[in-house]
Amino acid sequence: MSVLYVCATANTILGRKAFISKKSGKSVTQEVQSESVTKEGVILTIYDTPGIFDPKTQKMSPEEFLRQHDGLPDFNTENPLVYLLVMKTDRLTEEEKRTVEMIEDYLPDFLKKNTWIIFTRGDELEREDQTIEELIEDSEDLKEVVQRFDNRYFVFNNITPDPTQVDKLIEKIKEVKPEKRSETETLLERRTPAENNSKERRLILLGKTGVGKSATGNIILGGKVFKSECSLNTVTLQSEVQKSVIAGREVSVIDTPGFFDPNTSPTKISLEIARSLKLCSGGPHAFLYVVSLSERFIKADEAVIKNIEKIFGKEVSKYTIAVFTHSDQLEGKSAENLIRQNETLSRFVQRCGERYHIMNNKDMKNRKQVNDLLQKIDTMVDENGGGCYSNKLLEDAMILTVEELFNKYKMFFISVALC
């Protein structure tokens, strides 16, 4: 079993001062160090790493981090790999919140399930006669973080350590049974870039005006990069691309105006179709058709979908995921039941190969909904042979300017926009 964590906690687990541990505003550990110890019949290899917010490492992807720090185990290691996210028994600072979010974005799903929160300064809790459960209950931030890691946490006293606390931690980890990379994830990792560029995802947001496309893009990228506001009129006036590193790879999101908006001229719509294609040079890995659960799914949506098929071809449905927004307005109702009970909605989901995702655009901090969506996209890409979507239009977009593309397909775009 291999573990990544902070010096004092490492020393407590090892039962000796193997790593330098002292109070400092900077990262004390400057390079990866490792020590081993046998506990409860298990050989633990302990890796002490530079702080994740060290200026040299805070912008690195996991792959870059592994490459630049010799001695760290690869994610594909045969032995169970467990991460210990070390936090003080205190309210979360903004920096600690960013650290947690970064870890959630960086780690593959199977490693997130192997991550435990280790609360240090258990001695302070003992002096104040307070339990960790009481501390968590008093802090909404802590409660939310603990829930995101499925309540996998443990308290350490590094000052006057209980000799049995390490054994208890090992037993708790054994009970959960650390996971290994799934066969699908391993196959994706082994593919060559020509087969599947697993380090990049290009996503095109489509849908009517006011359904929350821009807000969905902001949620995915983890920041307010697209202009988004509650309005019946189009907020996004032209197609725009924004990028971010999520789970160690670059994700590009192309936000589009409400295609086929009756308040927009066919010529303007045509230009934006051309621009969105140009912004996705190389082809999209997924089309995300955004639908708001706060309004009825009407015939107009089906007309929009038919027009999208005219532009991108019938095969586009194989690369499309329906994204239902405004789940916060369901008031306890099941989105799945709502979809099943609505014949039009159900037919739409079937058209997308039964692929759909529920989003709460008001919950910006909820990275789980983003990670789940990216996992669904990965599965879809894998089912489609590991590549991105392409047709004649997209191929032309790679070599023509927006104006050239627009002029070449002007009459076709306008005829679609008028439908």
Task: Tell whether 121 and 219 lie within a shared domain.
Answer: no
- Give the pLDDT of residue 373: 93
- Give the start-end residues of each E strand in 156-224: 200-206
Evaluate whether residue 270 is within a structural domain: yes
DSSP state of 327: G
Residues 235 and 146 in one domain: no
Backbone dihedral region for residue 79 (phi beyond 0: left; psi -120 to 50: alpha; all else: beta): beta
Both 123 and 245 in a single domain?
Answer: no
Distance CA 83, CA 92 (A): 19
292 is written with which tokens? 């708001």
Q: 144 CB contacts (<8 Å, ≥6 apart)?
A: 365
Q: Is residue 187 part of a domain?
A: no
pLDDT value for 411: 86
The CA-based angle 154-181-9, given to 5 degrees, is 25
Strands lying side by side in the sheet with 286-292: 240-246, 249-255, 200-206, 286-292, 320-325, 356-358
Residue 255 lies in a domain: yes
Q: Are residues 350 and 408 in the same domain?
A: yes
27 and 145 part of one domain: yes
> Which H or E run contains 186?
helix 183-190
Residues 166 and 213 in one domain: no
Residues 238 and 303 in one domain: yes
Q: What CATH number has the domain bearing residue 146?
A: 3.40.50.300
For residue 69, the model assigns a pLDDT of: 52
Asked if residue 188 is part of any domain, the answer here is no
User: What is the domain range of residue 345?
Assistant: 195-418
Pair 170, 210 in one domain: no
Q: Are residues 243 and 321 in the same domain?
A: yes
What's the Cα-to-Cα distance from 141 to each of 89, 92, 104, 327, 365, rounded to whole Å?
A: 12, 7, 15, 22, 10
Distance of alpha carbon 107 from alpha carbon 83, whole angstroms: 10
Please identify, among 123, 147, 181, the residue that sits at the C-terminal boundary of a domain.
181
One domain for residues 77 and 116: yes
In a domain, residue 33? The reply is yes
Give the per-residue pLDDT at 192. 41
- Among 181, 207, 227, residue at a domain's last position: 181
Q: What is the pLDDT of residue 105?
A: 67
Work out the angle between the directed axes of helices 367-383 and 94-106 (0-180°, nearest 10): 10
Whether residues 199 and 172 share a domain: the answer is no
Q: What is the pLDDT of residue 1?
A: 42
| 190, part of any domain | no
Domain count, the chain: 2
Of 181, 203, 223, the last residue of a domain is 181
Please list the ranges in the chain whose pLDDT falls under 70: 1-7, 18-32, 40, 48-78, 105-106, 108, 161, 180-199, 228-237, 248, 259-260, 295-300, 330-332
Check residue 190 and give its pLDDT. 42
Q: What is the pLDDT of residue 321?
A: 94
The reported pLDDT for the residue numbered 189 is: 44
The per-residue pLDDT for 120 is: 83
φ and ψ of 402, to 5 deg: -60, -45
Rounded to whole angstroms, how far apart are CA atoms 36 and 40?
Answer: 13
Question: Are 133 and 209 contained in the same domain?
Answer: no
State residue 158's pLDDT score. 73
pLDDT for position 335: 74
Q: What is the pLDDT of residue 38?
A: 80
In a domain, 320, yes or no: yes
> Looking at the domain assignment, is residue 189 inside a domain?
no
Range 55-62 contact pairs with CB under 8 angstroms and sequence separation of 24 or more: 58/102, 61/106, 61/245, 61/248, 61/249, 62/106, 62/107, 62/248
pTM of the model: 0.57
Q: Give the residue ranges of DSSP H helices in 38-182.
A: 62-68, 94-106, 109-112, 122-127, 132-138, 140-148, 165-176
